[in-house]
Chains A and B, each alone.
Chain A
Amino acid sequence: MKRNIVFGTLESRIYIIFTVMLFSTIFILQLVFFRFVTTTIKNSTIDNNRTLLKQLVSQIDSYISEVEKLSLTIAEDIQIQNYLENENDPKSSYDLEYKLYNYKQARTDISNILVYSNKGKFLLGEPDAKLNPWTDIENSKWYRDAIDKNGNAVISTSYVQNIIVDSYSWVVSLSREIYSSNTGESLGVVLVDLKFNKIDELCRSLILGEKAYSFIIDSMGNYIYHPTQQLLNSNLRSEPITELLELNDANNNGYYFFSDKYYLIETSVFTNWSIVGATHNSDIITDWKNVQLIYTVIGLLLFLIVGPATKRISSGITQPVRKLQAIMKTVENGEFNLIGKIKATEEIQKLAYDYDIMVGKIRELIETSVKDQEQKRKSDLIALQAQINPHFLYNTLDSIIWMGEMGQNKKVVKMTSALSKLFRISISKGNEIVKIRDEIAHVQSYLTIQEMRYQDKFNFLIDIDPELNEYHIIKITLQPLIENAIYHGIKECSNKGFIKITSKFENDIISISVADNGSGMSDDQVENLCKGLESNSDEYPAFSKQGIGLSNVHQRIQLYFGIEYGLSIKSSPGFGTTVTVTIPALTQDGLK
C-alpha cells in the first residue's frame, strides 16, 4: 500500500471534499467557541471588576463620611467655640490643641487638624509644630471654599499641604466653617487633612489585574489621584477623560475601551469623585496563552483524528471498487476470475455478484465452445475415416477383380465408375457442407457398389424431392446410416432386403429417412441407441460399434445446426428400422 493520492480519482475527490468541509467546519466552530469563551470571560471579568470598584467607592465614601463626622464634632465642640469666641483667651490653647491631637491620634489616616479663626487664633492638632509663617491660610482654597459653603463640609482634591514649617505632605482636605451655637455667627474654619497615602493605598488595593490600575477624577475631570501623575503631566501618557465623563453621565454600567484598556467608572455620591478602574486587555483573560494553547491542541487532535478518518472513509468507498477493477483487469489476460464475497457496501457487493454471474456465463460459453470445436474435429475425423474406409475399398476392389475375372466387364465398369464417383464426391474440395444433390449422388454410388457386392441381396430406392437438391447438408451424413442398415439390418436377414431413402420438406425443415426392412430392434435396443446418440463416444464405451457411426452423424449435425436437429430412430423387431435425419433447410446464403 505505497500509493499516494492521485488527483482525478474518486478517492482524491472524496478526500478533498471531506477534508475541506471538515476542516472549515472545525475552524469555524473553534473560532465561534473561542470568541464565545473570550466574550463570556471578558464580560464576567468586567462585571467582577465593577463590583470591586463599587466596593472601593463605598469604602472611600464611608471613610470620608467618618472624617466628616469628626469635623462636625469639632465644629460643634462647645469648648472650642468658646475659646474662639472669647477674645481674651491667648492666641493658642495647649489643652484644646491636645484634644485635637487626641482626635488625630485616634486615627492613623489623619495628617493634621487645624482650627483657624478669622481673628487670627488657631488650634493645631500637632502641639509641637509651628504654623508656616509663609502660608497665607485665609487665601487657601480649603479656607475660602469652606466659607463659601456656609457650614457644609468641603472636600478638596489632593495637594501638598504646607501649613506646617518644614512639612510638605500630600493630603486631601476636609474643611467646614464653624458657627457659634450661641450667636450663630461665623467663628472660623476647621480643617481635617487626610493623609493621601490612605487613598493611594485604597486605590492600589483595588487589583483588577497585573497591568490594571485605578485613578480618581473629580466631576470636572481633574485628577485627584493617578498612580502615574508625572507621566500624565509630561504628556507621556494620557487618559480619555472626556469619554470617561460622558460614560459617567450616561450612567448605564457600560465600559469604555481605549488603547487595549477597559475603563470602568463609578462615582461616589458623597465626594463627587469618580473612580476609574482601567483593566488591561491582557489581564481580562490572564492565562490567555493557555486558552490559545488548549484551543490549538484541541484543533490539532481533531485534525489528527479527522485526517486519517477522512482517509479511511474515502478509501473505504473506493477500495472495493479498486479491488473490483483489479480483478476485472485480469479479463484482459483471458483469466476469468470470480470476485467472490468481498467486504464492501451493498451496492458494490451487488455489482460484484452480477459481475460474477456474467463471468461465469462467459466462462461456460467459452468452455462449451472449446469442447464443441474439439468434438467437431473429432467427428470430422471419424467421418473422414468413414468415407475412405479401407475395408470398404479393399472389398470393393476385390469385388471388381472378381468381377473382372468372371468377365463381367459391364459390371466392372459400373462398379468402377460408381467407386470413382463416390470418391470424387466425398473428397469434394474438402468442404464439410455439400448440396443434397451431391450427397444423394454419393449415396447412389455407394448403394450401387454395395448392391453389386452383396449380389442382389437387397434393393434400394431413392426418392428425394428434387426441390431439395440445392439445399445443403453435411457431407457423409447418409452413408453411415445406409452402412448401418446394410450391416446390421439386412445382412443378418434371410429375406431380400430393401432400403428406401425418402425425404420430407416441411416448415423449412428437411427430413431424410433411411428405412430398411431388416431384423429391427427391440424397444430397449432403440432406447439404448438413442441414449448413445447423445453421448460422447468416449464416455460411452459400452455402446456398440453400430452406434458409433450414428452417434457421430448425430453429433455433427447438432454441432453444425443446433441441438434441435439430428437423428431419430424408429424400429420394431422383424419389421426393420427407420433412421431419420432432420436438418434445417439452408441454401448457400444461409450458410456462414
Chain B
Amino acid sequence: MRNLYFILLSIMASLVLFMLFSFSFRNLYTKKIKLEAPIEIILKSTEGETMDFWDVVKLGIAEAKKEFGISVNISGPRFEKEINRQISIMNRIIEEEPSLIVLAASDYQKLSGSVTKAHNNRIPVIALDSDVNSDFPVSFVGTNNIIAGQKAGNEMKLLISDSVRKDIAIVSHIKETTTAIDREKGVRTALGNNKIIGTWFCDVEEDKAYSIALNLLENENLGGIIALNEVATLGVARAIEEKNAKDRVIIVGFDNAIRELTYLEEGIIKATVVQRPYNMGYLAVKTAVEFLSGKKVESNIDTGSILITKENMFKREYQELIFPFSN
C-alpha cells in the first residue's frame, strides 16, 4: 500500500517535471498539428502543360505541406470538363474520412451535392479557386474574380478611350461557372457606360473562341474584346493575329500561358489579368491547418490578381508569377 503511495508521488513529480520541460520547449511544437487523417485536395484537372495553373497550385500546396508538416493528398480528374469524374472522386474520398477536403469545383451546381454529403459526414470543406453552390464550405480560397474582372475592365476602359471604335465584346468560357459570372460582373461594373455588345461563350474550346472572334471582327465598330480565361484569350488572340487586327481591336485577357505572353510581347494582347495559383495552393492548405487547429478562418480569402502589360511583364517582382519555374 505504502509503496504504491510513493510510486504515485514519484510519477506525479515526474509528470510535473515533464510538463515543465515541455513548457520550456513548447514553442517548438506550436506550428505542428497532428492530424489523424490526411487533408485531401481535389483539383479540377491533374494533366496539362508543364507549369500550368494547377502545377503551380501544387507547388504552393507542397510548400505549405512542408511548412506545417502535415500529410496532404492531391487528386482530381484528368481534364477539367470531367465533372462527373470529379464528383465520383469526391464521393470516394468522403468514404476515406479525411480530416478536411479542399475542393476546386469544376461545376458550381453539380458539386454541391457532394459537398453536402461531406458535411453530413462531418468532413469540413474548403473551396479552392472556384466556389460551389453550397453554404457548407468553411472558406473560399481563390481569386476574387469580381475584382479581377474590374481590373480587366478598367484597363479596357483606359485603352479604348483612345480608340475610335467603341464596341466591346466579352468572350467568356462556361456559362454556369462562378469564375465566368464574377469576372463578367467585374468587367461590366468597371466599364460602366461603355458599350458592351454582348457576351459569347466558348465552352473552354480555343477553336470556338477563335471562330467567335472571327465573327465579331465583321463588326466594323468593334474596338475591344475581353476574354475571360486562358483558352478564350488564346482563341481570340489567334483570330486577331491572323486578321492582323491588333491595331484595330484591343484584347484584354486572363491568365498567363506562354503563348499569351508571346502575344503580349507582340502587342496582340494588350493586357492580361494574372491570378496567383502558388498563393492559392499555399493559402488553401494554410487555411485548412488553421481551421483544423481550431482557429477562426475568413469565409473568403482573396489570393489576389495582377494586371500584366507589356511594360511590366519583365518586372522582377512579377517574374515568378508570370514565368513559374519548374524544378
Contact = CB atoms under 8 A, between A and B. Distances in A.
Contact of A282 (B2, B28, B66, B327): B28
B282 A1 contact: no
Given A230-B320, A296-B21, A303-B10, A159 B63 contact: no
Nearest to A303: B10
A211 interface: yes
Interface stretch (A183-191, A196-204, A496-504): A196-204
Among the interface residues A135, A162, A228, which one has the most CB atoms of the partner chain B within 10 A? A228
B323 A160 contact: yes
A543 B18 CA distance: 90
Contact of B2 (A4, A159, A162, A228): A4
A346 B240 CA distance: 113
B262 A166 contact: yes
B265 A229 contact: no
B63 A231 contact: yes
A353 interface: no
Interface stretch (A304-312, A448-456, A473-481): A304-312
A19 B27 CA distance: 31
Contacts of A234: 276, 279, 304
Contact of B278 (A159, A168, A231): A231
A2 interface: yes
Among the interface residues A168, A170, A281, which one has the most CB atoms of the partner chain B within 10 A? A168
A295 B21 contact: yes
B258 A236 contact: no
Given A30-B17, A166-B262, A288-B25, A233 B327 contact: no
Contacts of B304: 234
Contacts of B7: 304, 307-308
Given A160-B314, A162-B314, A296 B266 contact: no
B147 to A, nearest CB: 15
Nearest to B318: A233
A43 interface: no
Given A159-B314, A200-B325, A260-B27, A168 B258 contact: yes
Contacts of A282: 28, 32
Interface string A197-235: 100110010000011000000000010000111110110
A422 B67 CA distance: 127
A231 B279 contact: yes
Q: Interface SS of chain B: helix, strand, loop or mixed?
A: helix
A19 B10 CA distance: 10
Contact of B5 (A4, A204, A230, A292): A4
Contact of B10 (A4, A281, A307): A307
A211 B266 CA distance: 42
Contact of A292 (B25, B60, B283, B323): B25
Interface string A1-39: 111100000000000000100010001001000100000
B234 to A, nearest CB: 14
B323 A236 contact: no
Contacts, number: 113
Contact of B6 (A211, A228, A288, A311): A311
Contacts of A254: none
Count class of interface residues, chain A: 35 or more
A27 B6 contact: no
Contact of A168 (B9, B261, B266, B317): B261
A34 B323 contact: no
Contacts of A127: none
B189 to A, nearest CB: 25
A308 B3 contact: yes
Given A159-B319, A233-B320, A296 B27 contact: no
A23 B13 contact: yes
Given A168-B258, A168-B261, A231-B63, A159 B316 contact: yes
A438 B167 CA distance: 165
A177 B283 CA distance: 46
Interface string A286-315: 001000100110011001101110010000
A360 to B, nearest CB: 36
Nearest to B259: A166
Contact of B21 (A165, A204, A292): A292
Nearest 7 Cβ contacts at the A-B interface: A303-B10, A307-B10, A230-B278, A300-B14, A307-B6, A229-B320, A134-B265
Given A170-B323, A230-B60, 13 more contacts: A200-B325, A201-B327, A210-B69, A211-B69, A222-B316, A229-B320, A231-B63, A234-B276, A296-B21, A303-B10, A303-B11, A308-B6, A311-B6
Interface of B: 1-3, 5-7, 9-11, 13-14, 17-18, 20-22, 25, 27-28, 31-32, 60, 63, 66-67, 69, 258-259, 261-262, 265-267, 276, 278-279, 282-283, 304, 314, 316-323, 325, 327
5 contacts: A159-B314, A211-B67, A234-B276, A296-B21, A308-B6
